[in-house]
Structure 1
Amino acid sequence: MSALAGKVALITGASRGIGRATAEALAGLGAEVFLVAEGTEEELEQGAAACRAAGQRAAWGVFDLADPARTEALVAQVQAELGRIDILVNNAGLRIRRPFGEFSAADFDALMAVNLRAPFLLSQAVLPAMRRQGGGRIIHVASQMGLVAAPTSALYGMAKAALIHLTKSMAVELAADGISVNCVSPGPIETEFTRHQMELRPGYREAREAEVPLRRWGAPGEVAELIGFLASTSATFLHGSNLLIDGGYTAH
């Protein structure tokens, strides 16, 4: 039997990159999936179609995760279409790069709304369903930048560091409910966003590869495999952990 047969997973930021790879990985493990992102209907349908090709039910919705009023509506739609929520993957993220001293209050509010407030509120919103079902899995996607510093990344790194701490706090409080909470922190991963950075900044690819002991960028599917492990019954004693998957970036 598939590891996640009978389970329903909600994945945010699932139109591309790590989120889409995660949806497909969880579907491959037998889960039914709900993909959510903002304003990307065609990409979401393509991702859902790939999950259906694995033999699982898949649905999607366009939601602005920066809008806290939409959180309850999202949870209600997932339950209405797929019946339950067993796994939540908080993957959606926003990056705003500026030298410190040049961030605006609007930058702060926009980034925190997506990178921290959304996973906080969505995690709270799924609790009633998970408690009724006797447990669940919540997985946050942070970043190696939540552990180390880099120029122009103060705001992003601060939000990811807070998300890692939120993982630990939730794990302490929710263990009694049978809800496992963990976090993954990817290092340099080749996604649409990072490929765009490579186009804008000559030498960016090579410079980042030089910082990684494995001397390459990671792939979204490699992160998705780790998330699949955390979502499965194999990870029964992993709780409150932040798992780095960065090719050794933070090892030196």
Structure 2
Amino acid sequence: MRELEGRVALVTGASRNIGRAIALALAEGGAGVIVVGRQDRAAAEGVVAEIEAAGGRAVAVLADVTQPEDVAAMVAEGLKAFGRLDILVNNAAVRHESPFAEMTYEAWRATMAIGLDAAFLCAKAALPALSEAGEGTIINIGGLTAYTGAAHRAHVVAAKAGLDGLTKALAHDLAEQGITVNLVSPGLVDTARVGKEPHHHASRKNLAGRRGRPDEIAAAVRFLAGPNARYITGQTLHVNGGAYLG
């Protein structure tokens, strides 16, 4: 089934983990994929190689999605490669931890910049191309703690909660241009991590009795990007094994 044939997707934070799985899933659906990483070109090109080995189309682009100039150049490079843009997936994020009493304003701003501001910048830069596409879609990747809270993550929780609000606002603003805007909120997912296990994971449980897989999050994104989800906008799709029943 190649329901995304002829369409093009841009995925931020696509070099590894959930972002990589999303890029692979959209390519499997037939979309050309702009694989965006921040610094590791080899990792981004590795995802491109995986897509091409399966018969898909992809290009690697490096960009700091907190910087307007980088974001504009990123979209321009993607359009140069494919000539159009139909799907924007705002996946890039950081999930640092710090007790609130020790949290610096610089750490707060850095987390908000990539977790929330970047989605604003990417949506603004992609808007002309998404509008021209006729049936464009924006899919933001949120997080379970935006709805449950978590210790040592005031900046992350605030950014993800703000992303939920931005999703609803953009659904209103962009509806007349034929653009749907939704959010996929993953629960605890089995991914490769740098550093120690996050503080709140020790107490996190769900009805499924296991962690999710990146491809399970990617499947939800692929559905929302496809033709069978055109009547869905402004919604949050929770993919968390029953950890939170929203």
1:64 and 2:58 equivalent? no
Residues 175-214 of structure 1 correspond to what in structure 2 (within 5 A)? 175-193=175-193, 196-198=195-197, 207-208=202-203, 211-214=205-208
Cα distance in 2, alignment partners of residues 68 and 21 from structure 1: 26
SS in 2 for 1:9: strand
- In structure 2, the partner of 1:167 is 167
Deviation at 1:110, TM superposition (A): 0.7
Any unmatched runs of 5+ in structure 1?
Answer: none
Render the CA deviation track for 1:193-217: whole Å, top value 9, x for unaligned. Answer: 2x7434x98xx87x356x2221111
Is the 2:62–2:74 Cα contact (8 Å) retained in structure 1? no
- How many residues end up aligned between the 2 structures? 246
Residue 238 of structure 2 is aligned to residue 244 of structure 1: yes
For normalisation by structure 2, the TM-score amounts to: 0.95
Query: Secondary structure of 1:250's partner?
Result: coil
Partner AA of 2:235 in structure 1 = S
**2:214 aligns to what?**
220
Preserved contact between residue 11 and residue 23 of structure 2 (Cα < 8 Å): yes
- Separation in structure 1 between the aligned mates of residue 213 and residue 196 of structure 2, nearest angstrom: 16
Q: Is 1:104 the counterpart of 2:104 in the alignment? A: yes
Unaligned runs of 5+ in 2: none
What does residue 4 of structure 1 align with? Answer: 4
Q: 1:208 to 1:190 in 2, by over 3 A?
A: farther
Cα distance between partner residues in 2 of 1:160 and 1:191: 19
1: CA distance between counterparts of 2:98 and 2:229?
Answer: 38
- Residues 66, 121 of structure 2: 8 Å contact kept: no
TM-score by length of 1: 0.93
CA contact (8 A) 2:100 2:154 kept: yes
> Residue 111 of structure 2 aligns to a residue in which SS?
helix
CA–CA separation in structure 1 for the residues paired with 2:238 and 2:137: 18
Q: Where do 4+ consecutive residues of structure 1 move more than 4 Å?
A: none
Deviates most, 93-102 or 5-14: 93-102
CA distance in 2, matches of 1:196, 1:151: 17
Q: Deviations over 1:4-25 (max 9, x none)?
A: 0000000000000000000000
2:50 — aligned with what? 50
- Check if 1:114 corresponds to 2:108: no
User: In structure 1, the residue corresponding to 2:148 is in which secondary structure?
Assistant: coil
Kept in 2: contact 1:188–1:208 (CA 8 A): no
Identity of aligned pairs, percent? 40
CA RMSD, Structure 1 to Structure 2 (Å): 1.7
